Structure 1
Amino acid sequence: MQEESSISLAGIFGGLFDGLWWLVQNIGMAFYNLGYAISHPQLWLDWVFWTGTTEEKQSIMRFVYYGGSVELFFVAFAAFLVLTAIGLYYRNFMWGMVRGLEGFANTLGRFFAWAGLLMVLQQIIIVFMQRVFTRPDMSFGFGIPLQMDISWFAEELKLYNAMVVCLCATYTFVQGGHVRVDLIYAGVSFRTKKVIDMIGSMIFMMPTAVLIWMYGWFFMWRHLIVPKPSASDALDRLIMKSRALRWNVETIGFSPNGFNGYFLFKILLVAFAGMMFLHAIAFFYRSFLEFVEGQGSENKYLDKDSLGEGEEAYEGAH
């Protein structure tokens, strides 16, 4: 019995050691992989100026593989560790990253929030064209206009909604506009709140963003090219598939004359996951800095929207 327990303990510690060694190896290799990718861009970016050569087909498969690979994850993780180490030594550097990432989220969010207005205006035009002018189609643009059936424009409204949801999510987070379910947060001290925020960003936000990216990345490419790539395919297998590679962008709508650009939703899903991962880093850094510097640094450098002078009573209520 004692021998069995000692063997099981040895197996547990052996497994832990193997896992730690695998982690250290991948972090170490991340620097080599990043350097190799930067110094050999033709291996994975040849397809940008597409002419259909064998080398370009192989490069697009490498791009697909590495875009959802363990190697890319550890490059991002190693960069996070390095930037965090620098930020611990130079606190202003970490504040600079917070301001840069939050500024990126705010800029994109404020721009794509206008898609909500476009959605409303287009819906009004659709109603007028259908009910007042009884037209079956609509035309927008100058020179070569975009002329489609009204049902195409009606279904395209979902794209505006997806743009607001995917590209304004981090902006809403910066502005404090997301709904929160509070069980213990309001009743704890300031520093405890910051610890909860740091744990939440590391344990929930980052892993969730990684999982969405992994799913969304291959989901997107499966609707852009054939043969369809799979997350389980090794690089060698994808290179073999590249012999028969061709673009096959999804253009199937839900109705005969309906919106046929549904591949754009897959691209938005990947963009959403990437932005959420970056903002999880910004949120972790802000929470850490506010924890270290105390309550006086709360919302430091935070660029929040204002409703204007005389509207103070409504701030934070939208």
Structure 2
Amino acid sequence: MRPFLMFAGAVDRLNDAIGSFIRWLALVMVIIGAYNALARYATRYFQTALSSNALNELQWYLFSVIFLLGAAYGLRHDVHVRVDVMYAKVSDKGRAWIDLLGTVLFLLPFSVLMLWVSFPSVMRSWSIREVSPDPGGLARYPIKALVLVSFGLLVLQGVAHVVRQVAVLKGIAGPVGGLSPSQASPPEPGYGDKHAPGTAGGPDEPDSRHGEGL
């Protein structure tokens, strides 16, 4: 099991490094988007184009990179949106089974299917060096190649996720991701509180801060 856990750790580090990189792309995307918005208004006064199709396309290219490369990073940190019906109410091993089956039955098959479906389109785009149809636009074949990279990273992270869930079921490692029932549904203040005998505020004991005759 140790070699598999080492593989999972290597995949985690890879996607963590990618996540650290794309967070800066988000800042660049915001700056370019703000410039494009201001440039459209400023063009009316200066009577010259201050933006371009290349800058407009670069903005959504950066968004595509963040989305595509961030998918595996989100899976690694368990931050994808989920609809929780019973997950928070089951035991750690129950959650491990849910994550394991969800990954094996849904995530991995879907990712492999998307690799198979998108591969011909990506190869065709690279063969013709596809570019934007808009004047001054950017090349499109590099961004299309990231579709394969994205789902490839998802497959790797999915396999790492399976390894970690199996380790949880075998008792080798602690729970991976998700919230424990106490974290997911904190009790209301005062509900079910029990005080040790003799402490202040206990239901059956006098408050130690006051005298017995008061």
User: Shorter-chain TM-score category?
Assistant: 0.7 to 0.9
Q: Quick check: which one's helix share is greater?
A: 1
Q: Which residue of 2 aligns with 1:293?
A: 171
2:131 alignment partner, one of 235, 251, 254: 251
* Aligned-residue offset at 1:113: 2.1
Alignment TM-score, normalising by the size of structure 2: 0.74
Q: Which residue of 1 aligns with 2:49?
A: 136
Q: Which residue of 2 aligns with 1:273?
A: 151
3-state DSSP of counterpart to 1:132? helix
* Aligned-residue offset at 1:292: 1.2
Q: Which residue of 1 aligns with 2:114?
A: 212
Tell me which amino acid in the other structure corresponds to 1:256: P
* Residue correspondence of structure 1 range 163-242 to structure 2 within 5 A: 163-225=65-127
* Residue correspondence of structure 1 range 1-318 to structure 2 within 5 A: 87=1, 92-132=2-42, 134=46, 135-137=48-50, 150-225=52-127, 248-253=128-133, 255-257=134-136, 259-293=137-171, 297-299=174-176
Tell me which amino acid in the other structure corresponds to 2:165: S
Q: Structure 2: which 5+ residue stretches go unaligned? A: 178-214
Separation in structure 2 between the aligned mates of residue 209 and residue 118 of structure 1, nearest angstrom: 29
C-alpha offsets along residues 250-301 of structure 1, whole Å, 9 cap, x if unaligned? 1132x334x332222311111111001101100000111112116x6224xx
Q: Structure 1: which 5+ residue stretches go unaligned? A: 1-86, 139-149, 226-247, 303-318
Whether the 8 Å contact between 2:96 and 2:175 is mirrored in structure 1 is no
Alignment TM-score, normalising by the size of structure 1: 0.51
3-state DSSP of counterpart to 2:131? coil
C-alpha offsets along residues 5-48 of structure 1, whole Å, 9 cap, x if unaligned? xxxxxxxxxxxxxxxxxxxxxxxxxxxxxxxxxxxxxxxxxxxx
Which structure ranks higher in relative contact order (CA pairs < 8 Å, sequence separation ≥ 6)?
2
Whether the 8 Å contact between 2:29 and 2:59 is mirrored in structure 1 is yes
Whether the 8 Å contact between 1:250 and 1:260 is mirrored in structure 2 is no
Identity percentage of aligned residues: 20
C-alpha offsets along residues 106-152 of structure 1, whole Å, 9 cap, x if unaligned? 111111221111111112222344433644256xxxxxxxxxxx122
Q: Alignment length, in residue pairs?
A: 174
Separation in structure 1 between the aligned mates of residue 109 and residue 37 of structure 2, nearest angstrom: 43
Between structure 1 and structure 2, the one with the greater Rg is 2
CA RMSD of aligned residues (A): 2.0
Q: Which residue of 2 aligns with 1:42?
A: none
> Which 4+ runs in 1 deviate beyond 6 A?
none
3-state DSSP of counterpart to 2:125? coil
